[in-house]
Amino acid sequence: NLSSLQPPPLRLNGPARLAAAAWPQRGGSSSRRLRADVAGFRGSMTDYLIRGGTDYVPDNWLPAQQLFASADCLTYDDFLILPGFTDFIADEADLTSALTRKITLKTPLISSPTDTFQAKELRKVKKFEQGFITDPVVLTPSHTVGDVLDAKMRHGFSGIPITETGTIGSKLVGIVTSRDINFLAEEDHTTLLSVGSSRPDILQHSKKGKLSFLVAMITCTDLKKNRDYPLASKDSHKQLLRGAAVGTPEDDKYRLDLLTQAGVDVVVLDSSQGNSVYQIATVHYIKQKYPHLQVIGMTAAQAKNLIDAAVDGLRIGMGCGSICITQEVMACGGPQGTALYKVAEYALCFGVSIITVGHVVKALALGASTVMMGSLLDPGEYFFSDGVQLKKYQGMGSLDGNKVKIAQGVLGSIQDKGSIHKFVSYLIAGIHLSVLQSMMYSGELNFEKQTMSAQIKGSEKRLY
């Protein structure tokens, strides 16, 4: 008898409060219509909304606290974020997020560790945008045109300052650019670099009382990159931030030294099982030898031990990546949605940022600071199959990637998605990160569980 049932309480986000009534039958059918008392108004929710009410929240809309309070553990596919009123435009979206305690990113997206990314790739990133160049390639007037051409071949540029001693901090006497040497004949390659004007002439022409000393340089190319990529995350020297992964074996300490020499800003401890004595010992080693270096640990649910070991960030998830099979092989792990929410709730109390993988918007809504992407950004080897461009995608723990006793990753190929300029902007469009997370913790952001049929229906139209 439905009339004897008491409805669950209604949750409202506004000042009004609903007092639930009975569950009446309509026309003898089993359908149920909720009635409420809103500031003296009695009637259906449809009547309430038609008369101007705006505060009703259906009972199956759950805040994160209630969604993850049940005994069931959830993955991203088990729930949806329910729509709400949007009071901002996409151009106003704030994507600033914390990667570690000291590093802030302008976009909450980072690439996943892969063994196809080495220290030499890190140097390329460092040199892509120089900012103020404090260690430029410098020549003296006694060098030749051939020396400039050799420098261009080695470094990829030909804008080289000329100082009296060929060192930074010396008197600047000129600069050689590609325009000066592009059309010189081969017999001119032995010509000494010379300054077109003497130092007194330079003083007279510049109308200054002193000659310049070379302290740093800035290039027009960097100014253009700064204009074209406003969301690039940079360090205090205006160079791109750089991160890399190291393992817990003893041999990886040498890799750590090379990465530090290449200018790495943050290291991720790459381990399929984060809560281990090996990872904690590695955190202690890095913090003692390189105290300035930011360290991101990896664990599924045991965050306390790594936070006590002074990690600056946590990477959440065991075997949840598209190419990782740790949960299947080791029979150990946990659903990503529940793991992320519960670890983030604890870690953020200590100022430790959270990195995770999977659905970007849902992960950010549940407390993640940044989302790590593997197959989208992995710089694998490209090849063609049946006219389709593919790239090799290799898991860090796969048998092809490392000679390990137990494979925790697989080797496969994925279809090339093209330039990141095409799809990254699609991923970040319209995510107002600070508002999203504040609404989640205040209970204003609502979720709804999905049935298996709803999951299939929502994914069958994916043509991208």
Annotated binding site for K(+): 319, 321, 324
Helix pair angle (119-128, 252-261), 10° resolution = 20
Mark the binding-site residues for NAD(+), compressed into ranges: 270-272, 317-319
| Alpha carbons within 13 A on the beta-carbon side of 401 | 22
Taking the C-alpha atoms of 118, 122, 123 and 129 in order, what is their torsion angle to the nearest 10 degrees? 150
Run of H or E residues at 243? strand 243-246
d(CA 102, CA 95) in angstroms, rounded, equals 17
Run of H or E residues at 458? helix 452-459
d(CA 269, CA 280) in angstroms, rounded, equals 10
Residue type, 61: W
Q: Which residues pair with 97 in a beta bridge?
A: 105
Residue pair 258/119 in contact by the 8 Å Cβ criterion: yes
d(CA 99, CA 165) in angstroms, rounded, equals 42
d(CA 9, CA 4) in angstroms, rounded, equals 16
Sign of the Cα pseudo-torsion (349, 304, 244, 286, in order) = positive
Q: Which residues pair with 133 in a beta bridge?
A: 217
Mark the binding-site residues, compressed into ranges: 270-272, 317-319, 321, 324
